[in-house]
Amino acid sequence: MSAKTRSMTKKKSGGWLESIKTVLYAGLIAIGIRTVAFEPFNIPSGSMIPTLLVGDYLFVSKYSYGYSRHSMPFSPNLFSGRIFGSLPERGDVAVFKLPRDNSTDYIKRIIGLPGDRVQVRGGILHLNGQPVRRESLGPFTVEDGGRMVATRFRELLPPQPGVEPHAHFILEMSDNQFFDNTTEFRVPAGHVFAMGDNRDNSLDSRDQNAVGFIPVENLVGRAEFIFFSVDGSASWWEVWAWPMAVRWSRLFSAVR
């Protein structure tokens, strides 16, 4: 083999090695950002309408509540508890791992903190024995596998020390649905209580067998903002219809 041929072979192998290194470094950086900073999620169901819609894509901040094993891909069992941990605020929209399997991602609104008493009576949320104020905003059309008309309310959670009262929107089909009258739940230490904003179409902490109280360790992060949203009207191959399928007004809107 000539010196020229050896030189070309060496350059080619060196080029492949550099490409592999670049891809590896990029992957490690992406995993690092996903673990300690932000992780993207998409909304597959209508349990958080009107706040979140099916087809919304959002970023969740991983640092908001500190870090647990669920902050990392595949939730490796490397340690227990949380590092730099802090409790959510009432009203936060949070992603968490479903307690019954510790792997399925759920997104709901945090309603109760450790020690809180939570109950729904006649469709009205009660916290620590007091009814939570809500204001009717009139009819709201829900398109979630069909078209239905619900009532939209503005709900105002009571303030916490040093935190402003949190206002958000909820939907009610009526005040006589399955979870509109519950027993009183006392949130145990190290846990939170979460509910969907689409109150009559949400599997959440009110169902103690399906979701129940959520260990603080299972919190993945707080929903921050929507970076993309599509209404599902265009298939992946209908390139010409993509612009009409994007919900442009929702892009880069904060999750509240």
pLDDT in tens, 195-211: 999 999 999 999 999 99
> Are 192 and 112 spatial neighbours (Cβ–Cβ below 8 Å)?
yes
Whole-angstrom distance, CA of residue 193 vs CA of residue 185: 9
Q: Which domain range does residue 107 map to?
A: 40-58+89-254
- Is 133 within the bounds of a domain? yes
Task: Give the confidence band of 171 by pLDDT, cuts at 50, 70, 90.
Answer: very high
pLDDT over 90 percentage in the chain: 69
Task: Give the confidence band of 148 by pLDDT, cuts at 50, 70, 90.
Answer: confident
Q: The whole model's pTM is what?
A: 0.86
3 vs 33 pLDDT, higher one: 33
- Is 78 within the bounds of a domain? no
Q: What is the pLDDT of residue 144?
A: 76
Contacts 24+ apart (CB under 8 A), 145-148: 145/46, 148/173
User: Residue 180 is which amino acid?
Assistant: D
* Domains of the chain: total: 1
Task: Give the confidence band of 25 by pLDDT, cuts at 50, 70, 90.
Answer: low
Residues serving a catalytic function are 47, 108
pLDDT digits (tens, 9 = 90+) for 45-94: 999 999 999 999 999 999 999 999 988 887 888 888 888 889 999 999 99
φ, ψ of residue 54 in degrees (nearest 5): -60, 130
Q: What is the CATH number of the domain that holds 133?
A: 2.10.109.10
- Of the candidates 218, 222, 245, 220, the one whose C-alpha atom is nearest the C-alpha of residue 58 is 222
Lowest average pLDDT, out of 40-44, 46-50, 137-141, 146-150, goes to 146-150
- Is 129 within the bounds of a domain? yes
Q: What is the pLDDT of residue 218?
A: 96
- Is 117 within the bounds of a domain? yes
- Is 12 within the bounds of a domain? no
- Is 120 within the bounds of a domain? yes
Mean residue pLDDT across the chain:
89
Q: Is 186 exposed, middle or buried, given 0-12, 13-18 or 19+ CB atoms closer than 10 A?
A: middle
- Is 136 within the bounds of a domain? yes
Whole-angstrom distance, CA of residue 42 vs CA of residue 48: 12
- Of the candidates 109, 121, 129, the one whose C-alpha atom is nearest the C-alpha of residue 176 is 121
- Is 139 within the bounds of a domain? yes
